[in-house]
């Protein structure tokens, strides 16, 4: 009896020591996350309802303005334009562009020779590994009036096109597909690698052609990877700032002004921090929803 | 290539073989085409960086030169911006590895009441777009007088990398068998000795993966230093490149290209090194199959 009691107190003491140690080990993360991540995130909800500004009367005296910022926002034609641009950019560059391109490459690579696969794979991945500013610079040159594309067009006797001014949205979408395809490609390659060879072979023997095998067997078997990838790519593209900002600055006019860039312009160019935060709150809310969907899809067991 | 020789040999089955050959060659043709499209923009960067009179169009450097690289490397402003980038990225990667490494130990080994909610919050935070918090973060920095400081920028970069780093670290830690630790305890080793001599050596692949991830993340980051730093002598390479090509007027494209290549090399090199460890860290992938 005594021995049992002694053992339980000993294990209790050890447990107590563990809890303390856990706290010590976790505290640096707690402090950093709290101070630099969660507090600013929570502050978003407060700042969005103030008229905080960097200059002018509101700079000296920040006041709570209720839903003023949001009222202005929904009446603001530029806000509506930037929401629309964000949706277009998101759908065509990420949801369709990167995923379809990544999928095509992954499917075609399946079963090709190793050397060929690694050469093509490396080229595609290079565009993904390169820092976003470099991607922007590279595409700035590629699409420039005197850039590579126009030189090719000229040699084919076609008048050069000022891509970034005439088709700004198309330009940033193509640049972002180039930059992001590698991620989807790798996700799909991994997923396709897990599809058992026998299933496809038996379908082949049963007379299914390549298209039927793709749509009836391969796609249904990797559908969970596709949906997870979709959410991840959406989250990444939603916050995409550097590529567009460095390439077009949101212009010409408002042609490529997506929500992050509109937020930047309002907060740091027009110095309306309160209004800028209200826009970031919108971004944050979309991010929160997408992030929750993502968590549900992962179905993690902790 | 063998199909080319096979075709004329069996004439009766020529049509069938042709179709077969096309089906086999077609993926190579399409992939080569895609590969060339993906390569062209990058090829310009590499060619221009070696070209004395580089333009914006892709052309092979007729006057091959290393002058662009020499000019870039010897320019003091460039040296400073590279140094700043290194300070930010190395400082952040080191902090991330230490802080996330410490956190992952109790998360992996101990029973704690707040473990589940903590891990859920961490996972949730990995999804949030960083861009969305930059304006309030700037206000926060302004309020406490932390803006334009490399140190506080490092702290912010560290915090923003912590969610996925803790997640990855914990997964690595889970794969280190607990028996080895217990053996060390039995031999009378303290928790710190065990960490230093047993866990850290076994965790090295994980530590490198997280460190490399963190380093390339902040090395390539433009938005955070662009907003949190103002003084020209504190800006990292990412912002300097933007300022160079954002300026209107005469730009030396060759030099800017060599600058970009030098700036890209660490990211590419680390990716290649990191690849070796990468597969072990992504328990995301395993979990995602649901």
pLDDT tens, position by position, A165-215: 889 999 999 999 999 999 999 989 888 888 888 887 888 888 888 788 888
- Residue A13 pLDDT grade (very low, low, confident, very high; cuts 50, 70, 90): low
Does position B86 have pLDDT exceeding 90, yes or no?
yes
Mean pLDDT of A77-99: 91
Instruction: Compare B268 and B188 and report the one with higher pLDDT.
Output: B268
Tell me the two tokens of residue A221: 């078997």
State the DSSP H helix or E strand holding residue A230, giving kind and residue range, or none if neither: helix A223-238
Does position B55 have pLDDT exceeding 50, yes or no?
yes
Tell me the two tokens of residue A32: 């950093």
Contact indicator for A232, B128 with CB cutoff of 8 Å: no
What confidence tens digit (pLDDT) does each residue in B174-214 have?
888 888 888 888 888 888 888 888 888 888 888 888 998 89
The closest alpha carbon to A137, from B235, B232, B131, B264, belongs to B264
Tell me, yes or no, if B267 comes closer than 8 A to chain A by beta carbon: yes
- Range with the largest mean pLDDT of A11-20, A53-62, A175-184, B64-73: A175-184
Is the overall model pTM greater than 0.90, yes or no? no
The Cα-based distances of A36 to A2, A42, A246, B95, B158 in angstroms read 50, 11, 26, 14, 9
Percent of chain B at pLDDT > 90 equals 29
Predicted local distance difference test score (pLDDT) of residue B281: 43
Tell me, yes or no, if B119 comes closer than 8 A to chain A by beta carbon: yes
ipTM of the complex: 0.84
Predicted local distance difference test score (pLDDT) of residue B83: 94
Residue A164 CB partners (closer than 8 Å, separation 6+) = A140, A143, A144, A171, A247, A248, A252
* Residue A290 with chain B: CB contacts under 8 Å: 127
Percent of chain A at pLDDT > 90 equals 27
DSSP string, B64-128: B-SHHHHHHHH-HHHHHHHHHHHHHHHHHHHHHHHHHHHHHHHHHHS--TTHHHHHHHHHHHHHS
Instruction: Compare B13 and A234 and report the one with higher pLDDT.
Output: A234
Does position A152 have pLDDT exceeding 80, yes or no?
yes
Does position A301 have pLDDT exceeding 90, yes or no?
no
Quick one: how far is CA A42 from the chain centroid? 21
Q: Which of residues 208-237 of B touch A (CB under 8 A)?
A: 216, 219-220, 222-223, 227
Tell me the two tokens of residue A159: 């008048």
Residue A298 CB partners (closer than 8 Å, separation 6+) = A228, B123, B284, B287, B288, B290
Mean pLDDT of B93-104: 93
Predicted local distance difference test score (pLDDT) of residue A132: 92
Which of A46-50, A128-132, B257-261, B283-287 shows the lowest per-residue confidence on average (mean pLDDT)? B283-287
Find the residue in B nearest to A54 (Cα): B139
Instruction: Compare B2 and B76 and report the one with higher pLDDT.
Output: B76
Closest-CA distance, B80 to chain A, in angstroms, reads 18
Mean pLDDT value across chain A: 85
Best residue in A49, A131, A132 for a mutation probing chain B (most B CBs within 10 Å): A131
Contact indicator for A133, A243 with CB cutoff of 8 Å: no
Tell me the two tokens of residue B200: 């850290």
* Residue B223 with chain A: CB contacts under 8 Å: 241-242
The closest alpha carbon to B208, from B283, B277, B280, belongs to B277
Closest-CA distance, A1 to chain B, in angstroms, reads 26
> How many Cβ pairs within 8 Å bridge chains A and B?
271
Does position A299 have pLDDT exceeding 80, yes or no?
no
Does position B287 have pLDDT exceeding 50, yes or no?
no
Q: CB-CB: which of B105, B155, B241 is closest to A25?
A: B105
Percent of chain A at pLDDT > 70 equals 91
Does position B14 have pLDDT exceeding 70, yes or no?
no
Find the residue in B nearest to A115 (Cα): B28
What confidence tens digit (pLDDT) does each residue in B206-254 have?
888 899 889 988 999 999 999 999 988 899 999 988 888 766 555 778 8
Predicted local distance difference test score (pLDDT) of residue B282: 44
Instruction: Compare B88 and B115 and report the one with higher pLDDT.
Output: B88
Mean pLDDT of A15-32: 86
Q: CB-CB: which of A37, A178, A224 is closest to B160?
A: A37
Buried b (16+ CB within 10 A) or exposed e, B157-188: bbbbbbbbbbbbbbbbbeebeeeebeebeeee
Contact indicator for A28, B162 with CB cutoff of 8 Å: no
Rounded to an integer, what distance in angstroms lies between the CA atom of residue B289 and that of residue B171?
17
Closest-CA distance, B33 to chain A, in angstroms, reads 10
In order of their start, the domains of chain B are 2-65 (no CATH), 69-288 (1.10.3720.10)
Predicted local distance difference test score (pLDDT) of residue A145: 83
Residue B86 CB partners (closer than 8 Å, separation 6+) = none
Rounded to an integer, what distance in angstroms lies between the CA atom of residue A94 and that of residue A226?
12
- Residue A85 pLDDT grade (very low, low, confident, very high; cuts 50, 70, 90): very high
- Residue A55 pLDDT grade (very low, low, confident, very high; cuts 50, 70, 90): low
Predicted local distance difference test score (pLDDT) of residue A6: 57
Mean pLDDT value across chain B: 82
The Cα-based distances of A263 to A49, A282, B154 in angstroms read 15, 10, 23
Best residue in A26, A153, A174 for a mutation probing chain B (most B CBs within 10 Å): A26
In Å, the largest CA–CA distance within chain B is: 84
* Residue A116 with chain B: CB contacts under 8 Å: 28, 31
Does position B284 have pLDDT exceeding 80, yes or no?
no
Rounded to an integer, what distance in angstroms lies between the CA atom of residue A192 and that of residue A222?
7
The closest alpha carbon to B130, from B228, B244, B207, belongs to B228
Closest-CA distance, B180 to chain A, in angstroms, reads 18
- The phi and psi torsions of B131 (rounded to 5 degrees) equal -55, -35
The Cα-based distances of B93 to B96, B101, B161, B170, B218 in angstroms read 5, 12, 9, 17, 8
Predicted local distance difference test score (pLDDT) of residue B7: 45
Closest-CA distance, A26 to chain B, in angstroms, reads 5
Closest-CA distance, A295 to chain B, in angstroms, reads 7
Mean pLDDT of A140-169: 87
- Residue A12 pLDDT grade (very low, low, confident, very high; cuts 50, 70, 90): low
Rounded to an integer, what distance in angstroms lies between the CA atom of residue A178 and that of residue B27?
20
Does position B283 have pLDDT exceeding 60, yes or no?
no
Does position A110 have pLDDT exceeding 90, yes or no?
no
Rounded to an integer, what distance in angstroms lies between the CA atom of residue B22 and that of residue B4?
11
Rounded to an integer, what distance in angstroms lies between the CA atom of residue B32 and that of residue B34?
5
The closest alpha carbon to B61, from B84, B43, B75, belongs to B43
């Amino acid at each position: 009896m005594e021995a049992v009691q002694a053992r339980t107190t000993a294990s209790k003491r050890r447990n107590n020591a563990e809890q303390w140690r856990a706290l010590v080990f976790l505290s640096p993360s707690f402090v950093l996350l709290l101070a630099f991540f969660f507090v600013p995130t929570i502050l978003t909800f407060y700042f969005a309802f103030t008229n905080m500004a960097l200059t002018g009367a509101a700079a000296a005296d920040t006041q709570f303005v209720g839903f003023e910022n949001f009222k202005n926002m929904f009446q603001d034609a530029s806000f509506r334009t930037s929401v629309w641009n964000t949706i277009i950019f998101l759908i065509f560059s990420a949801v369709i562009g990167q995923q379809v391109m990544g999928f095509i490459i992954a499917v075609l690579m399946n079963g090709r020779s190793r050397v060929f696969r690694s050469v093509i794979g490396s080229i595609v991945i290079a565009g993904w590994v390169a820092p976003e500013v470099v991607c922007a610079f590279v595409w700035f040159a590629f699409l420039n009036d005197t850039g590579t594309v126009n030189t090719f067009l000229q040699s084919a006797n076609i008048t050069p096109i000022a891509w970034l001014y005439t088709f700004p949205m198309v330009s940033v979408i193509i640049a972002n597909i180039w930059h992001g395809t590698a991620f989807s490609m790798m996700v799909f390659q991994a997923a396709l690698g897990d599809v058992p060879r026998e299933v496809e072979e038996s379908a082949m023997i049963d007379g299914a052609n390549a298209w039927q095998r793709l749509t009836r067997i391969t796609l249904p078997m990797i559908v969970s990877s596709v949906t997870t990838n979709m959410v991840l790519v959406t989250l990444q593209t939603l916050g995409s700032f550097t590529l567009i900002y460095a390439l077009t600055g949101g212009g010409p006019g408002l042609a490529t002004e997506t929500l992050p860039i509109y937020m930047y312009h309002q907060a740091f160019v027009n110095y309306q921090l309160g209004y800028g935060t209200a826009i970031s709150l919108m971004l944050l809310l979309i991010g929160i929803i997408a992030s929750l969907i993502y968590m549900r899809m992962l179905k993690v067991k902790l | 290539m063998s199909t080319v020789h096979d075709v004329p040999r069996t004439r009766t089955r020529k049509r069938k073989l042709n179709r077969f050959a096309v089906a086999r060659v077609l993926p190579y043709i399409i992939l080569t085409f895609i590969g060339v499209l993906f390569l062209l923009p990058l090829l310009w960067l590499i060619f221009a960086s070696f070209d004395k009179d580089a333009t914006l169009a892709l052309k092979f450097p007729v006057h091959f030169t290393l002058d662009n690289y020499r000019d870039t490397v010897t320019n003091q402003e460039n040296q400073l911006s590279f140094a700043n980038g290194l300070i930010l990225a190395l400082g952040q990667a080191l902090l991330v590895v230490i802080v996330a490494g410490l956190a992952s130990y109790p998360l992996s080994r101990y029973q704690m009441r707040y473990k589940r909610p903590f891990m859920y919050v961490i996972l949730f935070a990995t999804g949030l777009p960083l861009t969305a918090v930059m304006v309030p973060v700037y206000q926060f920095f302004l309020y406490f007088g932390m803006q334009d400081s490399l140190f506080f920028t490092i702290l912010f970069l560290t915090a923003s990398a912590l969610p996925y780093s803790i997640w990855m670290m914990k997964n690595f830690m889970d794969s280190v068998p607990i028996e080895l630790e217990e053996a060390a305890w039995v031999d009378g080793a303290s928790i710190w000795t065990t960490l230093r001599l047993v866990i850290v050596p076994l965790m090295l692949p994980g530590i490198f993966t997280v460190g490399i991830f963190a380093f390339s993340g902040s090395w390539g980051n433009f938005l955070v230093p662009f907003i949190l730093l103002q003084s020209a002598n504190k800006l990292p390479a990412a912002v300097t490149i933007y300022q160079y090509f954002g300026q209107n007027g005469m730009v030396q494209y060759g030099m800017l290209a060599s600058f970009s290549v030098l700036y890209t090399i660490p990211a590419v090199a680390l990716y290649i090194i990191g690849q070796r460890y990468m597969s072990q860290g992504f328990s995301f992938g395993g979990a995602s199959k649901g």
